[in-house]
Amino acid sequence: MSAANQARRAARAAWRYVRRAPGTFIWLAILFVTTLILRHVSPGFADGILEKRSTNIHYLSQSPVRVLISSALWIAGGGWFFYFVLYNVFHVPTERWLGTLRWLGVVLVAHVGATYLSEGVLLWAINHGHAPESARYTLDYGVSYALAGVEAVVCYLIVSPWRYVYLAGLLFFYGSALWSGRTFTDVGHFTAVLLGLACYPLTRGRSTAGVGGPFDPVATVRRLWRRLRT
């Protein structure tokens, strides 16, 4: 087979992969653009961009819909490629499994719910003297709440008993961060996990054929081992 034919086959395979999770890859494309923007402007200008798109207490009271949407279009640390990998591990199979609308429902529940609860905790801390008044304007943006919610709903795609092992690891990871950090973002991440688990009704009756059936880590390792030996 010629190199040109191989390239065409690879391109068709990549397109089939992308179009089965359109929401995830549109989101990744937007994140790629916004990440480039931040890299090519001065730090002060970047802070100004992010400040106006932050879901802090001030902007949630002024223009909640605008900042809830715009805050999810920027990456808060980790780099774009890091999130590209995580999106392919968690968002892609979830969108294929639930369908784009239900996947988007999980994303919105986790992002919006965790944002309001975490900022509510921060507001309580301000009102009771545990945080300064300036915390009303703290930067709060990024995609991690939505990602945590999707990571949680993936539990229902894993076969037992491994689903409970995965769930215990997920709760330990975010729970230990909450215990040690106790910041409003730690509250948000743990809340997003709980909200993702609460999205179980969205998973009922969904076929797993589009993702190759329920995920069995042991069977997957065995298949990979057989392929490596042949």
Q: What is the CA radius of gyration of the chain?
A: 20
pLDDT value at residue 43? 85
Per the rule left: phi > 0, alpha: psi between -120 and 50, beta: everything else, 205 is left
The CATH number for 3-229, chosen from 3.40.190.10, 3.30.300.20, 1.20.1540.10, 3.40.47.10, is 1.20.1540.10
Token code pair at residue 158: 């894993």
pLDDT value at residue 9? 85
- Per-residue pLDDT of 35-65, as tens digits, reads 999 988 888 888 889 999 999 999 999 999 9
**C-alpha to C-alpha distance for 114 and 185, rounded to whole angstroms:** 9
Residue type (1 letter), 34: T
pLDDT value at residue 1? 59
Domain residue ranges of the chain, discontinuous segments joined by +: 3-229
CB 219 within 8 A of CB 105: no
**C-alpha to C-alpha distance for 93 and 103, rounded to whole angstroms:** 10
